[in-house]
């Protein structure tokens, strides 16, 4: 069954209807609607002017070199979103309109000529009439709007081209408003998340709790099903995956040499990395002479965690399913998140050191009190030997008495035997 509004009544193709459609589009532009409502409104408007049995709006992502078919009607039926929703730029008719930034009107007879120019005829073949117009904001192409017929030659002409271009000009403004509104909402959400992370990490010295909070909050902005925080230990020469989530599963931590993999590179060079494709990442690894650790990602984003000019770790997000997931703005956002995360690692280490120092001071005071209360020199020596040995974490402790020369000789013998 053909959907309502797909084929216009012949009596509607008049100047008064065209004027009415223009007014509808003006109202649509000013209404502050969402994407779905805008494209449906555009579809209804075009359906009043010409046959829209086959109609689509494809939005163009220049960074990803990708088309998003936000509305696709084939033979009067909407195509469900799925594999056909996104398409890499493939040199088809839609791409040709984007490249030329001009309307394209084709008949069946002209399809061969356009194909000879290297333009691919994608999708359902056998189009009898094809009309596509660019969606423009200034000199920037944001997409393409198309109507076509597989049954009726000459269905579209210069009149339909001009009408569709008029609608497209207003549709582009409405769609750009949707994008800007979504961008503004995203920026507000980002500020809220950064604030939440800062507050959550400021009140805890528990790294597990801090990392969990960062992961949870970033999940409001990104797909963090593959995410990790690595902690660097320069004294031991290793970095460890202290908080590692891969494809939604928390993995046990592992240790690696400090200079190994992309994480090691970031620690060593104190430099953030952004890879939009698996090929970019592999080329980088080959160029710098190291192998990728673990499963190959299609998109990867990592930044150093630096506190008081010291690299204490790395924060990374990756996608195993999609390329072009992250951009420079996402990198800047992750770098902002890295500040409180790095501070939490530094503060947790400092807190642990202070605790250890306080515990040692408490033990020293206890030993001093035992020595003061000792009955004789033998008791003092026993207390010193046992307690100082325990304080130093020694498994064996011996106290020797003698002259300076005798003790020096004993120390030399002990050192030579490797027992110091």
Q: How far apart are CA 274 and CA 374, in angstroms?
A: 65
- The predicted-structure confidence for 5-26, as pLDDT tens digits, reads as follows 445 444 444 677 777 877 777 7
Confidence grade of residue 351 (pLDDT, cut at 50, 70, 90):
confident
**Helix runs in 312-376, H state only:** 328-372
The predicted structure's pLDDT at residue 24: 78
Q: How far apart are CA 71 and CA 381, in angstroms?
A: 87
Q: How far apart are CA 275 and CA 363, in angstroms?
A: 52
Q: pLDDT higher for 281 or 355?
A: 281
- The predicted-structure confidence for 82-94, as pLDDT tens digits, reads as follows 555 888 888 889 9
With the CA atoms of 23, 25, 27 and 32 taken in that order, what torsion angle do they form, in degrees rounded to the nearest 10?
-170
**Helix runs in 31-157, H state only:** 35-47, 93-100, 108-116
Lowest mean pLDDT among 28-32, 199-203, 260-264, 315-319: 28-32
Q: What is the DSSP string of 73-95?
A: EETTEEPPSSTTTEEE--SBHHH
Q: How far apart are CA 48 and CA 14, in angstroms?
A: 10
Q: How far apart are CA 79 and CA 69, in angstroms?
A: 10
Phi-psi map region of 256: left, alpha, beta (phi>0 left; psi -120 to 50 alpha): beta
CB atoms under 10 Å from CB of 197, counted, come to 23
* CA nearest to 46, candidates 75, 70, 78, 13: 13
Tokens of 402: 């003698």
Give backbone dihedrals phi and psi of 90, rounded to 5 degrees, phi first: -130, 10
User: Is it the case that residue 196 has pLDDT exceeding 70?
Assistant: yes
Q: How far apart are CA 345 and CA 204, in angstroms?
A: 10
Average pLDDT of the chain is 84
Tokens of 25: 């589009």
Q: pLDDT higher for 349 or 120?
A: 349
- The predicted-structure confidence for 363-382, as pLDDT tens digits, reads as follows 777 777 777 776 677 776 77
Identify any residues that bridge with 317 across adjacent strands, giving them in sequence order. Answer: 227, 301
User: Is it the case that residue 332 has pLDDT exceeding 80?
Assistant: yes
| Secondary structure E strands in 150-246 | 227-233, 238-246
- The predicted-structure confidence for 110-119, as pLDDT tens digits, reads as follows 776 777 666 7
Cβ(41)–Cβ(32) below 8 Å: no
408 SS3 class = helix
* Residue 171: Cβ-neighbour burial (10 angstroms; 0-12, 13-18, 19+): buried
Identify any residues that bridge with 144 across adjacent strands, giving them in sequence order. Answer: 58, 134
Lowest mean pLDDT among 54-63, 176-185, 292-301, 411-420: 411-420
* CA nearest to 269, candidates 221, 304, 316, 223: 304
Q: How far apart are CA 11 and CA 28, in angstroms?
A: 24
Q: Show the domains of the chain with their CATH numbers.
A: 10-182 (3.30.450.40), 204-351 (3.30.450.40), 374-416 (no CATH)
Q: Which residue has the tokens 């064996």?
A: 396
Q: What is the mean pLDDT of residues 143-165?
A: 93
**What sign for the dihedral angle of Cα 353, 355, 360, 365?**
positive
Tokens of 230: 């690595």
Alpha carbon 299 to chain centroid distance? 8
The predicted structure's pLDDT at residue 89: 84
């Amino acid at each position: 069954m053909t959907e309502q509004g797909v084929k216009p009544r012949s009596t509607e193709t008049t100047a008064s209807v065209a004027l009415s459609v223009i007014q509808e589009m003006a109202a649509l532009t000013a209404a502050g609607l969402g994407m779905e409502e805008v494209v449906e409104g555009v579809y209804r408007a075009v359906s009043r002017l010409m046959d829209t049995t086959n109609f689509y709006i494809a939005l163009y992502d220049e960074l990803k070199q990708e088309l998003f078919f936000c509305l696709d009607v084939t033979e009067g039926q909407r195509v469900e979103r799925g594999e056909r929703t996104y398409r890499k730029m493939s040199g088809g008719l839609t791409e040709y309109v984007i490249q030329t930034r001009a309307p394209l009107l084709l008949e069946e007879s002209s399809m061969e000529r356009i194909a000879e120019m290297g333009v691919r005829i994608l999708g359902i073949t056998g189009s009898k009439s094809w009309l596509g117009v660019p969606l423009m904001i200034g000199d920037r192409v944001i997409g393409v709007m198309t109507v076509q017929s597989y049954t009726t030659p000459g269905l579209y002409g210069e009149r339909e081209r001009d009408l569709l271009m008029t609608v497209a000009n207003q549709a582009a403004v409405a769609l750009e408003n949707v994008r800007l509104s979504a961008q503004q909402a995203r920026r507000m959400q980002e500020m809220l998340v950064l604030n939440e992370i800062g507050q959550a990490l400021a009140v805890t010295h528990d790294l597990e709790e801090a990392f969990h909070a960062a992961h949870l909050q970033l999940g409001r902005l990104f797909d963090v099903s593959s995410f990790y925080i690595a902690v660097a230990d320069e004294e031991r020469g290793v970095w460890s995956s202290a908080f590692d989530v891969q494809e939604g599963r928390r993995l046990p931590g592992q240790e690696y040499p400090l200079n190994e993999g992309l994480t090691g590179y970031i620690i060593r060079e104190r430099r953030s990395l952004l890879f939009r494709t698996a090929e970019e990442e592999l080329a980088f690894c080959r160029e710098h002479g190291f192998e990728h650790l673990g499963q190959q990602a299609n998109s990867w984003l990592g930044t150093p965690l630096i506190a008081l000019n010291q690299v204490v770790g790395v924060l990374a997000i990756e996608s195993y399913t999609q390329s072009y997931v992250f951009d420079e703005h996402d990198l800047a956002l992750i770098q902002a998140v890295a500040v409180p995360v790095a501070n939490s690692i530094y503060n947790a280490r400092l807190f642990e050191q202070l605790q250890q120092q306080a515990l040692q001071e408490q033990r020293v005071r206890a030993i001093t009190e035992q020595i003061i209360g000792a009955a004789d020199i033998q008791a003092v020596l026993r207390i010193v030997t046992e307690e100082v040995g325990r304080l130093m974490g020694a498994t064996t402790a011996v106290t020797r008495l003698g002259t300076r020369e005798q003790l020096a000789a004993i120390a030399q013998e002990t050192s030579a035997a490797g027992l110091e």
